[in-house]
A and B are shown apart, each in its own frame.
Chain A
Amino acid sequence: MNNSENNFILKLININLRFGGVHAVRDININIVNKNITGIIGPNGAGKTTLFNIISGIYKPDKGRIIYKDQDITKLPPHKISRLGIARTFQNLRLLARSSVLDNIITAAQNKFYNYNFIENMLHVGRWRKAERELKDLSMNYLERLGLADRASQDAGTLPYGMQRRLEIARALALKPELLLLDEPAAGMNTEEVIELNELITNIHKDFDLSIIIIEHHMDLIMKICPKIYCLNFGTEIANGSPEDIRANQEVLTAYLGGKK
């Protein structure tokens, strides 16, 4: 029993959130297995992104607790949650559009790697030079890993859409997370790009030794890479299990395709 408890990197216990009359998230209990890819699916308005916003600290749940690696993070602000090792991407990209691609990564990486203080920053002495150089090298590595190295000096806002999505993933990885939340990474991508993304996520998962939660509408993507899937509808969990279970689940089919009742 104890062993399996420790196997969960994130536990959502009885999460509830209301926006006025809308019960956006209702009694959600989800345990995320460590080093696993977990999928969350559901029709529009099912509360998937809201759930991410709760985990990452933008919204505070009305009821319930979030336990990350035996620590209660329910009341922590977003920057503290980020520093504990939870990184996320956004459904509507949130890059620093006016900074270069490289600077986007360096900005993310600087909190985790190489520190220097205000005086060293002001006078460019001490650890500044070495830290800045190593930060740059390290960030270039992330860019190379995601195939963006040749775009390093370009402004992030001028990248093509697919690359901006990859840059967001690179930036999240530069935070050196243990848990990565991907919010509809395939949104707006064509079939080919989705296949590429599929490989990318699998590789990242392997290489960086991460736990990943992924929200997605592309069923083929999620069915392929997630051993465990949760399905939400109107803020409540209606099913969970392996891809086969989900595919066969009557309630899931009803939620997506509508039912007679």
Chain B
Amino acid sequence: MLKLSKVNIFIIILGLLMAYWPMGGYQEGIIILLCINAIAAMGVSILTGFTGIFTLGHAAYMALGAYTTAILTVRYDVHWLPALIAGGIVALIIAWLIGIPTLKLTGDYYAIASIGLGEAIRLILENWQSFTRGSRGFPGIDPYTTRTIAVVSFTILAIFILNLLNGRLGRELKASRDDNIAASFMGFNTPASKMKALLISAFYCGIAGALLGGYMSFIQPSMFDMMKSTELTAVVVFGGLGSMTGTILGSAAITLIMEYFRDISQYRMLIYGLLLVLIMVFRPEGLLGSREIWEIFKFKNILKSGN
């Protein structure tokens, strides 16, 4: 029997609102971008926020997802849905290959390796002209990412990841984040835990990339450069390390603020930087810290009843 928790129901209602609230084309575009950015941010969050592995190369997994789906749909006439899932899976497989050697690195060393590997994947896509059309970009992708598709993907993936974190896997990842040695004495194979987090995060980023390709109808390697990777990790830090709802909120906030300042696009990065500096000064633990949104409300109730 599938019984939905309050959180799941809330996300489904949010999804229905986003999918069916009447709005113009511009607003629809923003909703799609919100969903895509949130999916990618959730992926990075499970790795960086919940497992404690800082990554600065996850745009590469978005690129892998985007290119896989684009090539499958355009060249091989595959239906977009299997192609989308294939995009996630290709990202997952590459992440597994990369993870075997690199997850042995800890702390800053992994971050450095991830920059290198992220750039390497982007450069391969840029120079493998016969397959990816290189830096000219890959045009003519079917615009399969409608508002409904984006919102449904976001809803499903958000429910999956929140459920996963509220259970065995969430506790396993947090244990290996907070104390690797203690985690191994609690019977967790910590390298395997880290690998699980990396695979899930690569899958999410792959799907996000594939959706982005379907929204833009055009992809090119420079969309997935180090700036994009940094942005993904920055969003997670902004929302709060160890808070999935914080990540979703943070990603929504940053996407909306950036969209609001579209008119002065040259100065957008300035505002972006200012925003990050402000949050680091006033809330160094991020928007929600390491708590989920319902935990914060519960805490407030306790305070009220205490008075």
Contact = CB atoms under 8 A, between A and B. Distances in A.
B172 interface: yes
A79 B174 contact: no
A50 B168 CA distance: 31
Contacts, number: 89
A126 to B, nearest CB: 9
A124 interface: yes
Contact of A90 (B2, B3, B168, B182): B182
B25 interface: no
Nearest to A117: B168
Interface stretch (A102-110, A184-192, A195-203): A102-110
Contacts of B190: 79
A95 interface: yes
B184 A121 contact: no
Given A106-B171, A123-B163, A56 B178 contact: no
Q: In which size bucket is the chain B interface? A: 20 to 34
A250 interface: no
Interface in B37-66: none
B266 interface: no
A124 B2 CA distance: 7
B242 A98 contact: yes
A116 interface: yes
Interface in A59-93: 77-79, 82-83, 87-88, 90
Contacts of B160: 122-123
Find the residue from B1, B163, B167, B172 having the highest chain A CB count within 10 A.
B167
B159 to A, nearest CB: 8
Find the residue from A58, A90, A110 having the highest chain B CB count within 10 A.
A110
Contact of A82 (B3, B174, B187): B187
A108 B186 contact: yes
B189 interface: yes
A28 interface: no
B179 interface: yes
Contact of B184 (A78, A106, A123, A128): A78
Interface in A159-186: 171, 175
Find the residue from A108, A116, A128 having the highest chain B CB count within 10 A.
A108
Contacts of A94: 179, 181-182, 185
B178 A97 contact: yes
Nearest to A124: B163
A121 B168 contact: yes
Given A96-B182, A107-B172, 13 more contacts: A78-B184, A79-B184, A79-B187, A82-B185, A94-B179, A97-B178, A98-B178, A103-B174, A107-B175, A110-B171, A122-B164, A123-B163, A124-B166
